[in-house]
Structure 1
């Protein structure tokens, strides 16, 4: 009996100690010896993912980027709106290699307008990362040749699951465009995802174009897209006098080369 009382006393002490610990308002660290875990509660928290591309991130609520990515907003990058996570000044990117768990929450109002990055989306690119259980809405407009997806520009061996896009994409130039991902390389996976956003391309360039409701293009036989669907409209208006230019378009995957 004394042992039981002692255990109860210890548990009560632990509960009291935890209740008086200070609360961390921004990216509070939770655990892990190899990767740090952060809670995402504000626009600023979301933006700071770029400061640790190996971290584990967990959304605690919906995030509204409408005001933040408007011209002059706190996340408006030189008038282009949201700067894709990992994007570099050179136009290249550093890949996200961590985890983003949306826990069923939404990121709304994401605006990207003529991004300086060659890889456009919430993330410029991922490599071995996991993005799951998240919905994004907003708009992407571009007049630049780029690889574009609402979640990720380039997916190299990453996994995107249970994610949904309501992002409308309007372009006058591009290379690979997908509702979720622009291009998959390596053994990238897209599972249980959907796109409701419309993709509209009025094209004037002389380069090949790949458009997919889920993924623009895949350059790997190891890539996997399963249990995904697209209900958004895909509209392309490409002049027929562009020589050898080719347009590949599909509701799921625009084009694939192995």
Structure 2
């Protein structure tokens, strides 16, 4: 009886081992299977799209993905939907928005890419640090393009170079940007930028209070 029991246990363990090995092999194949035919986004983006000019755009649908723009300040970004004030409030969790910039060894580099709002809105952006400089959705724009974007109910407070879109803008193209909200600072405060150099601006609509 004992010999038969040992044989049964041995056979059962072999069967379990085979099933486990098969399961692990399937798991190893799954990533490759799911990647076929699907555009995988870099970094924290769920999706990308390639336009008719073969330009790849990172698609933004959440505050977290918006914040990730700073990971590649020379990239192409497009809103996929509205980002509501409720979603932004949850993301900020009582804190302040960190203006988009590329951080290199404690130094901030300007955004030099393209951002297409795609006609959608971002609501509820806010900062509260009165000593902060270069405040806005972006910290700085240089040789950048921003278009078709609506910023609703912004509340930006800072020290110098405070604007609705960016703290400073230079050599950039801004088109079809609508901004509403409250912007406060001590020096170089503007409705859509705090400091401005050589900018091609088309259709800026502002409602500040």
- Same fold by TM-score, threshold 0.5 exceeded? yes
Tell me the SS of whatever aligns to 1:44. Answer: helix
Which residue does the alignment assign to 1:126? 141
Residue in structure 1 matched with residue 182 of structure 2 by the alignment: 168
Q: 1:189 to 1:117 in 2, by over 3 A?
A: farther
Q: Cα distance, 1:131 vs. partner?
A: 0.3
- Given that residues 47 and 75 in structure 1 are in contact (C-alpha distance below 8 angstroms), is that contact kept between their aligned partners in structure 2? no
- State how far apart, in whole Å, the 1-side matches of 2:164 and 2:65 are: 19
Match of 1:41 in 2: 61
CA RMSD of superposed structures (Å): 3.0
d(CA) in 2 for partners of 1:60 and 1:160?
19
1:29 corresponding residue in structure 2: 48
Q: Secondary structure at the match of 2:181?
A: strand
Match of 1:114 among 117, 121, 129: 129
Give the distance between the partners of 1:181 and 1:108, measured in 2 at CA: 18
- Superposed counterparts of 1:36-185, under 5 Å: 36-68=56-88, 70=89, 73-75=90-92, 80-86=95-101, 93-114=108-129, 117-142=132-157, 144-169=158-183, 171=184, 173-185=185-197
TM-score (norm 1): 0.57
Gaps of 5+ in 2: 1-35
Match of 1:221 in 2: none
Please say which structure displays the higher CA radius of gyration: 2
Q: CA deviation at 1:35?
A: 7.0
Alignment partners' CA distance in 2, 1:182 and 1:34: 34
Mean Cα deviation higher: 35-44 or 188-197: 35-44
Structure 1 unaligned blocks of 5 or more: 1-19, 199-258
More helix by share: 2
The TM-score, its normalising length taken from structure 2, stands at 0.70
Count of aligned pairs: 170
Paired with 1:116 and 1:38, the residues of 2 have a C-alpha distance of 32
- Helix, strand or coil: the match of 2:64? helix
> How far off is 1:188 after superposition?
1.5
Correspondence for 2:206: 195
Q: Who is 1:241 aligned against?
A: none
